[in-house]
Amino acid sequence: MLLGRTDAGVHSLGQVANFKTNSNIEIEKIPYALNSKLKKSIVIKNAEEVEERFHARYNCKRKTYMYVINNSKFGTAIYRDLEYHLPIKLDVAKMKKAIKYFEGEHDFAGFKASGTSSKSSVREIYKGEIIEENERIKIKLTGNGFLYNMVRIIAGTLVDVGLR
């Protein structure tokens, strides 16, 4: 089985995987069969036949990552493991201005964790957004790919901008 990857500790929506099978199960019944065997934290929503050369990781055209900051005084128990809590108020206007500098094709060598195995650190960010919803600040980046911990490092940089 091949899977589009994401960093450890990152939660995923819309992840794509592919595998070869000789099963006689009808394609529309594959999600039911797989879901009956998977952990409750994983749900297969769709299955479709693709060309044999398709690769979930290398044929991906774009990825979107969203980093969520709970900018409230106390945070939340329910979403504790799904968002970063920072009780110090951030200057969202500055963050919105700064995220635009990441758009375009750049060498993101300074925004990757050590041990990254990628051959090139050049990536293109198609769109960067800061979305403010009540006391949550969402950092949303869409691009052609991301380096190991790149989004976390960009998010940290934007938080630093918002603190100044």
Taking the C-alpha atoms of 132, 104, 124 and 154 in order, what is their torsion angle to the nearest 10 degrees? -40
Amino acid (1-letter code) at residue 26: E
pTM for the full predicted model: 0.82
Write down all domains in the chain, each with its CATH number in brackets. 1-60 (no CATH), 63-163 (3.30.70.660)
Helix (H) or strand (E) holding 154: helix 150-163
Residuewise pLDDT in 10s, the chain (164 residues): 444 555 566 667 788 888 899 999 999 999 999 999 999 888 999 999 999 999 888 888 899 999 999 999 999 999 998 999 999 999 999 999 999 999 999 999 999 988 777 889 999 999 999 999 999 999 999 999 899 889 999 999 999 999 99
What's the CA gap between 103 and 82, in Å, rounded? 25
- Residues 103 and 128 sit within 8 Å (Cβ to Cβ): yes
What SS3 class is residue 87? coil
Six-digit token string for 46: 């769709």
* Active site annotation includes 91: no
Q: Which of 7, 81, 91, 160 is catalytic?
A: 7
Burial class (CB in 10 A: 0-12, 13-18, 19+), 9: exposed
What's the CA gap between 63 and 27, in Å, rounded? 26
What does residue 152 show for φ and ψ, rounded to 5 degrees? -65, -40
